[in-house]
Amino acid sequence: MQVTLFLQLLLPGLTTGCVYALVAVGFVICANVSGVVNLAQGEFVMIGGMVASWLAAASWPLPFAIAIAMLVGAALGGAQEKFTLAPVRRAPPFIQVTTTVGVAIVVRGFALVLFGTDPLSLPGFSGDGVFFVGGAVLPVQSLWVWGTTAALLAGTFGVLRHTDIGRAVRACSINLQAALLMGVDAERLRVIVFAVSGAVAALAGAVVTPIVLSTWDAGISYGIKGFVGAIIGGFRSPLLAVAGGIGIGIVEAFAAGYISSGWKDFIVYGVLLAYLLIRGGVFRAGRAAFAAALASPLR
Amino acid sequence: MALAQHKTALAAVLGALAVVAYPLLFRDDYHLGVGITAGALAISTVGVVLLLGLAHQLAIGQAAFSIIGGYTTGILCVNYQWDPFVAMIVGAVLTMSLAYAIATPLLKLRGFVLVMATLALHLMLIVVAYQLPITGGPIGITAVPKFAIFGVIHFDGETSYFYAVWVIAAIAIAIGINIDHSAIGRALRAIAASEAAAASVAIDINRYKVQMFVIGAGMASVSGSLIVHYLRAIDPTVFGFGFSLNLVTGTIVGGLTSIWGGALGAVVIIGLRELLRGLSLPLWEAMIMGALTIVILIALPGGIAGAIGDLFDRIFGGVSGGRLSVTAPGTIALVPFSAEEGRGDANILTVSGAARSFGNLRAVNAVSFDVAARSITALIGPNGAGKTTMFNLIGGYQPLDAGSIRFENREIGGLLPKDIAILGVGRTFQNMQLFENMTVLENVMCGRHRELKTGIVPICLRLPQARAEERETRRQAVAALGFVGLRNADSVPPSALSFGHQRMVEIARSLALRPRLLLMDEPASGLNDTETEQLAELILRVAAHGITVLLVEHDMRLVMGLADHVVVLDHGEKMAEGPSERVRADPRVIEAYLGRPHDDAA
């Protein structure tokens, strides 16, 4: 019985954790190529779920609905980079990040106007059946979420390691300045990375919607929980970001199951806050930034 | 010019007129309610300008603080029949304490951690509001009384409450303007322009960011209380995430660069909401505000207030300085330290075994040397010898791997740049780091930061002591500019000056710190011959006033003409040291550094 409850919490936690992990990886990779934390990342998950559900409800075949959702995510991501971030590249960092908030608001607002306030749902990709693991009941769709996440992560890491674009992204994350000097076409690279991470986020949103439904204001929750994953990885390591994202999903599920579903968010965000406060007490920041300021010419 | 100087006063008069006139034009309760909401929001948006516009902290969790203020008001006034005014103050104090507790550790972390932490706090507080019996769960608290002060003054009518809210908003605006125009405003602008240079004049970055965070939180809390008194109720949805987003987008559209922009932002939010309601398109609000925000950030960073200000300047002449004149250097108006403080012939700085590596590169390797008090000491060496690294180690800009650096018999290795500056070590930068977002005079005024004593409360209220200190700061900065031979350059931005004059401004700024040791990193680079001569003369006068000078320099004529003592670095190690004549004659130095004997090296 204990084991059953444990699994009944762990496995759904893993499912939502997969989405957070994908968002976290998007955060990390976008931050590394653009120097900006893209606070609209979670909204792309939401828009993916909404677009796919909406099209499916309009009796589009599921694969098309999902493909269109990914295209919308890619278009939004690429457009965000090209039309809102590129123009403020030379502005102070807080302006650049605030611009991403503006994009998040537009995407939210767009979803609200187009889809309304009611949650949308999507049928399971291979039916709405369930399966059993050690007594725990799980929707079959969970397999789709895990499989898609595994495939996307494998693809991401494969691309990062073995392709020119991947090498360019890694070069940027090690030393953005040097990568630019070595002839990495940063503008093109950034648009590609933002588009891909928009598409990945949208796919994540579509694949998880049969389980959790999709509402216009869900993006903030995906964003903040994915951010936790990214921050655990120090915004450097995509692998740690994945671990962080999945960890948050599991903590969330355990908090809901073992403590109280009403206090679930309190506990998850409390863990985040506590984690940040502890790090703030331990770390001494500053020197690296000073060194960077001295090394760069007049800003 | 006269008009431009009174821009703030003019804005205040126009704003006051608009507020006074509004209830006369719109007498119905609906429109008065709109005006009340705008006033309450304006208090929050002024806080957002302080936080986002001045301290560059992305404030998208302000509703967290409004929740605390709003629920404190609701609980104390309904359950315990407290006086609304007292409850509002208690809520603000509670909020500010919490904000302080969070911001102090978090601002040490880089990046956007504070944003996420306030968001997390916000979402936690919403859960609390839903779950606790005392907050009334989803229904919240109803039958909140109308606003009153000490049970004596009641604001039962909508008109009287409208004026009460706007008076409080005016106080918030005044506090914002006082901060903006104070040493705190300068410090925050300095941090935005160059964190390294800000630290070099002892500006404590985190302290001011925490202060702005706490004040912004207090304003959001008061705003929350006032809204609850208007609604006569509160539930968990009143101060949601959308409320925070509205505050930020409204403030950006209104204008981040001035406090008035904050007040305008509140009007923009409410105006747009009413407009869309009139058009039956209320759901479009978020999308339009988001789009406006992006457009403003890209095309008009000063927002509406900035655009109005620029237009005003263009029409009425704007900022114009007196004609720049570079005078013969004055006699000193700036006596840094009395002779006793210089402490005779002791060594003011002792570097022993200092080491710093970057990967496999040993930039500085076991370097030891002394700097005699009141001397002019030069650190020379070929490119890549480790001179600038050595400088950064002394200034605290890079950590020591090994060894020790003592300033006035006190270990400074491991201290942060601002703490080293506080002890009395000034510096100039090789790649000059002036604050381009301020005038020349304000740049130099920033140098006085170490000596400022006025606390945050007198500054917010602009009490006499704050004004007196501001006058003294100005006087000293003018004196420092006079000392380097720059007069009437006060009100122009540094970029309006020639390169040589900009360097003088940077030196004046570091002198305003009243340093006992001045580190100058290649002060002659980029200067022409005349300017270099003026610089040499200035350095001699600085030293004559008891300030020890340590300079890194490539210009051998300058070094040999000025320095009492020369330390030669090569490949990160000390190669020679001694009086300049001896070093110049040292064959090893000649070989490694000068290459071959030079006629014009004299």
Inter-chain CB pairs, A–B, below 8 Å:
175
Specify the 3-state DSSP secondary structure of B294. Answer: helix
All residues of chain A having their beta carbon less than 8 Å from the beta carbon of residue B64 are: none
For B339-361, how does the pLDDT look when each residue is reduced to its tens digit (9 = 90+)? 344 445 588 999 999 999 888 88
Q: Is A281 on the interface with B (CB under 8 A)?
A: yes
User: How close, in Å, is residue A160 to chain B by CA atoms?
Assistant: 25
pLDDT of residue B252: 94
Q: Which residue of B has its CA nearest to A110?
A: B287
* Probe site for chain B from A82, A101, A296 (most B CB atoms < 10 A): A101
In this structure, what are the phi and psi dihedrals at residue B358, rounded to the nearest 5 degrees? Answer: -115, 105
Say yes or no: ipTM exceeds 0.90: no
Q: How confident is the model at residue A296 (pLDDT cuts 50, 70, 90)?
A: very low
CATH C-level class of B432-514? alpha beta
> Residues of chain B with pLDDT > 70: what percent?
92
Which of A113, A265, A291 is opposite residue B123, by nearest beta carbon?
A: A265
Dump strand ranges (E) for B436-493: 486-487
> Residues of chain A with pLDDT > 90: what percent?
59
Which of A92, A217, A224 is opposite residue B120, by nearest beta carbon?
A: A224
Torsion of CA A272, A277, A280, A283, to 10 degrees: -80
Q: Output the CATH code of domain B330-424+519-602.
A: 3.40.50.300
Decide if B109 and A88 are in contact by the 8 Å CB cutoff.
no
**Selection from B98, B103, B338 nearest residue B218 by Cα:** B98
Decide if B245 and A272 are in contact by the 8 Å CB cutoff.
no
Whether residue A180 is predicted with pLDDT greater than 80 in this model: the reply is: no
User: How close, in Å, is residue B416 to chain A by CA atoms?
Assistant: 8
Please, what's the b/e burial string for B316-342 (b: 16 or more CB within 10 A of its CB; e: otherwise)?
eeeeeeeebebeebeebebebeeeeeb
Decide if B284 and A91 are in contact by the 8 Å CB cutoff.
no
For B83-120, how does the pLDDT look when each residue is reduced to its tens digit (9 = 90+)? 999 999 999 999 999 999 988 888 777 667 788 888 88
Specify the 3-state DSSP secondary structure of A40. Answer: coil
End-to-end CA distance of chain B: 51
Contact A193, A200 (CB under 8 A): no
Decide if A102 and B241 are in contact by the 8 Å CB cutoff.
no
pLDDT of residue B432: 87
* Probe site for chain B from A46, A98, A174, A278 (most B CB atoms < 10 A): A98
Domains of chain A with CATH codes: 2-264 (1.10.3470)
In terms of phi and psi (left: phi > 0; alpha: psi -120 to 50; beta: otherwise), the region of B271 is: alpha
Task: In whole angstroms, give the CA distance from residue B584 to residue B601.
Answer: 9
Position with higher pLDDT, B427 vs B59: B427
Q: How confident is the model at residue B220 (pLDDT cuts 50, 70, 90)?
A: very high
Domain boundaries, chain B: 23-237, 330-424+519-602, 432-514
- Residue-level length of chain A: 299
Which of B110, B124, B290 is opposite residue A285, by nearest beta carbon?
A: B110
Task: In whole angstroms, give the CA distance from residue B87 to residue B497.
Answer: 54
Decide if A270 and B192 are in contact by the 8 Å CB cutoff.
no
Decide if B290 and A92 are in contact by the 8 Å CB cutoff.
no
> Residues of chain B with pLDDT > 90: what percent?
64
Those residues with Cβ within 8 angstroms of residue B559's Cβ, 6 or more apart along the chain or in another chain:
B378, B380, B551, B553, B566, B580
DSSP 8-state secondary structure symbol assigned to residue B545: T
Contact B440, B429 (CB under 8 A): no
Contact B408, B348 (CB under 8 A): yes
Of the candidate ranges A111-125, B198-212, B341-355, the one whose mean pLDDT is the lowest: B341-355
Domains B330-424+519-602 and B432-514 belong to one CATH topology: yes
Q: How confident is the model at residue B599 (pLDDT cuts 50, 70, 90)?
A: low
**Selection from B555, B475, B481 nearest residue B520 by Cα:** B555
pLDDT of residue B67: 97
Please, what's the b/e burial string for B448-457 (b: 16 or more CB within 10 A of its CB; e: otherwise)?
bbbebebebe
**Selection from A232, A214, A249, A245 nearest residue A44 by Cα:** A214
Average pLDDT (B369-380) is: 93
Q: How confident is the model at residue A280 (pLDDT cuts 50, 70, 90)?
A: low
Those residues with Cβ within 8 angstroms of residue B79's Cβ, 6 or more apart along the chain or in another chain:
B134
Specify the 3-state DSSP secondary structure of B490. Answer: coil
Please give the structure tokens belonging to residue A228. Answer: 């936790």
Cα angle A263, A268, A271 (rounded to 5 degrees) comes to 120
Q: Is A295 on the interface with B (CB under 8 A)?
A: no
Whether residue B330 is predicted with pLDDT greater than 60 in this model: the reply is: no
Q: Which residue of A has its CA nearest to B52?
A: A94
Specify the 3-state DSSP secondary structure of B569. Answer: strand
pLDDT of residue B107: 78
All residues of chain B having their beta carbon less than 8 Å from the beta carbon of residue A269 are: 120-121, 123-124
Please give the structure tokens belonging to residue B347. Answer: 């060594």
Decide if A105 and B249 are in contact by the 8 Å CB cutoff.
yes
User: How close, in Å, is residue B472 to chain A by CA atoms?
Assistant: 30
Whether residue B328 is predicted with pLDDT greater than 60 in this model: the reply is: no
Of the candidate ranges A229-243, B205-219, B333-347, the one whose mean pLDDT is the lowest: B333-347
What is the pTM for the complete model shown? 0.88
Whether residue B332 is predicted with pLDDT greater than 70 in this model: the reply is: no
Of the candidate ranges B279-288, B389-398, B466-475, B486-495, the one whose mean pLDDT is the lowest: B486-495
Decide if A99 and B298 are in contact by the 8 Å CB cutoff.
yes
Please give the structure tokens belonging to residue A113. Answer: 């106007």
For B440-466, how does the pLDDT look when each residue is reduced to its tens digit (9 = 90+)? 999 999 999 888 888 899 999 999 999
Average pLDDT (A160-167) is: 88
Which of A37, A110, A266 is opposite residue B124, by nearest beta carbon?
A: A266
Task: In whole angstroms, give the CA distance from residue B355 to residue B297.
Answer: 45
Q: Is A18 on the interface with B (CB under 8 A)?
A: no
H-helix segments, B201-338? 205-231, 241-254, 259-278, 285-299, 303-316
Whose tokens are 């109005």? That residue is B308
User: How close, in Å, is residue A126 to chain B by CA atoms?
Assistant: 35
Q: Which residue of B has its CA nearest to A227?
A: B116
Decide if B290 and A102 are in contact by the 8 Å CB cutoff.
yes
Of the candidate ranges A188-192, B3-7, B76-80, B312-316, the one whose mean pLDDT is the lowest: B3-7
For B282-316, how does the pLDDT look when each residue is reduced to its tens digit (9 = 90+)? 889 989 999 999 999 999 989 999 999 888 888 87
User: How close, in Å, is residue A136 to chain B by CA atoms?
Assistant: 28
Decide if B196 and A279 are in contact by the 8 Å CB cutoff.
no
Long-range contacts of A112-119 (CB under 8 A, 24+ apart): A112/A216, A112/A217, A112/B283, A112/B286, A112/B287, A113/B283, A113/B284, A113/B287, A114/A50, A114/A54, A115/A50, A115/A54, A115/A216, A116/A216, A116/B283, A117/A215, A117/A216, A118/A215, A119/A213, A119/A214, A119/A215
* Probe site for chain A from B122, B123, B189, B418 (most A CB atoms < 10 A): B123
pLDDT of residue B597: 52
Task: In whole angstroms, give the CA distance from residue B506 to residue B515.
Answer: 14
Whether residue A286 is predicted with pLDDT greater than 70 in this model: the reply is: no
Decide if B248 and A98 are in contact by the 8 Å CB cutoff.
yes
Chain A (53-82) residues lying within 8 Å, Cβ to Cβ, of chain B = none
In this structure, what are the phi and psi dihedrals at residue A234, rounded to the nearest 5 degrees? Answer: 65, 20
Whether residue A299 is predicted with pLDDT greater than 80 in this model: the reply is: no
Q: Which residue of A has its CA nearest to B428?
A: A294
For A35-86, how does the pLDDT look when each residue is reduced to its tens digit (9 = 90+)? 888 999 999 999 999 999 999 999 999 999 999 999 999 999 999 999 999 9
Whether residue B324 is predicted with pLDDT greater than 50 in this model: the reply is: no
Decide if B121 and A269 are in contact by the 8 Å CB cutoff.
yes
Amino acid B99 reads A
pLDDT of residue B3: 58
For B227-253, how does the pLDDT look when each residue is reduced to its tens digit (9 = 90+)? 999 999 999 999 999 899 999 999 999
User: How close, in Å, is residue A40 to chain B by CA atoms?
Assistant: 12
Please give the structure tokens belonging to residue B265. Answer: 């932002």
